[in-house]
Amino acid sequence: MKLKAPESISFAETSFCPGCGHGLVARLIGEVMEEMGMTEKLLTVVDVACASLNIDTWKFDTIMAAHGRPIATATGVKKVRKENPVLAYLGDGAAYAIGISETMYGALRNDNVVVIVINNGVFGMTGGQMAPTSLEGQRTSTTVMGRDVKKTGKPFDITKMIGQLDIAYLARGSVANFKDIAKTKKYIRKAFEKHMNNEGYCLLEILSPCPTNLGMTPVQCAQRVDDAMRDQYPTGEYIDNGGNQ
């Protein structure tokens, strides 16, 4: 494993909570860009939620889009800057609640963008409210007795929603343990390769700890991702169309 951090990451500026998955993914993206020689090319669009902290963590040209709209915004960028890799980076609340229509329509149009969704099972930035991905029975600040699926519907699984569409790539990774981190990095790289090959929509969901809002230590929280979240949200590649579009 590479120990030197990629040059596109600014540790001085980063402000994620200790043990947060966002920071790990930010670094993985930096490493992949370095390996693919695209550090000077990547254009990123981040959501206003915790994803937005990347605008200072990364040294990429970045837009902070409105909550839930980064995918639409990224499509706009890609249409103008066709040679550049373009990434939409957002949380599960952004992608699956307020922005579900943008997430879905990006897929329906097979827009040529890379989408990375951080699934931490809560609304992190606003203080730990229920997200579409919160687990059954999960206590959050808006489900203090635990998520009651009779009232809220069941936890949302993106792979069931766009798993049958003609998109380029759909995968789910995790950053809760060393092995998964390595795998997730491969998924990120694959998504960008397909993207540069103009194959279309690549969505990668990444299971990720939010120790702050789950009131756990970073280690406990990572353990919870491994134990509870992965049961509900199996990791792996779901669509890998390999240029068959």
Partner 1 sequence: MKQVLMKGNEALAEAALRAGCRFYSGYPITPQSEILEYLSWRMDEVGGEFIQTESELSGINMLLGASAAGARVLTSSSGPGYSLNQEGISYLVAADLPAVIVDVMRYGNGLGDVSQSQGDYWQLTRGGGHGDYRTIVLAPSSVQENADFTYEAFELAEKYRHPVLIGSDAAIGQMIEKVSFPEMKDHDIDTYEWSIKGCKKGEVQKKITNTLYYMENYDDYLLNKYQQMEDNEQRWESISVEDAELVLVAYGISSRICKEAVMTAREQGIKLGLIRPITLWPYPVNAFKELGSECKALMTVEMNILGQMKDDVVLAVANKYPVYSYTTVKEVPETETIIEKAKNILSCKEA
Ligand X SMILES: Cc1ncc(C[n+]2csc(CCOP(=O)(O)OP(=O)(O)O)c2C)c(N)n1
Which residues here bind ligand X, judged by CB under 6 A?
47-51, 67, 91-94, 118, 120, 122-126, 131
For residue 200, the minimal CB distance to ligand SF4 (Å) is: 29
Residue 114 in contact with partner 1, rule: CB under 8 A: no
Site membership for partner 1, residue 5 (CB under 8 A): no
What is the rounded CA–CA span in Å between residue 155 and residue 145? 16
90 vs 107 by CB, closer to ligand SF4: 90
- 76 makes contact with partner 1 (CB under 8 A): yes
End-to-end CA distance of the chain: 34
**In whole angstroms, what is the distance from residue 41 CA to residue 83 CA?**
8
Instruction: Choose the one of ligand X, partner 1, ligand SF4, none that binds residue 51, judging by a C-beta under 5 to 8 angstroms depending on kind.
Output: ligand X
Residue 216 backbone phi and psi in degrees, to 5: -125, 165
Applying CB under 8 A, the site for partner 1 has a residue count of 35
* Near ligand SF4 in 18-37, by CB under 6 A: 20, 22
Closer residue to ligand SF4 (CB): 124 or 200: 124
Of 20 and 229, which has the nearer Cβ to ligand SF4? 20
Selected range binding partner 1 among 56-64, 174-182, 210-218, 227-235, rule: CB under 8 A: 56-64
Q: Is 111 helix (H, G, I), strand (E, B) or coil?
A: coil
**Dist CA 183 CA 101 (whole Å):** 29
**By C-alpha distance, which of 181, 207, 38, 45 is closest to 121?**
207
Dist. CA 242–CA 168, nearest whole Å: 7
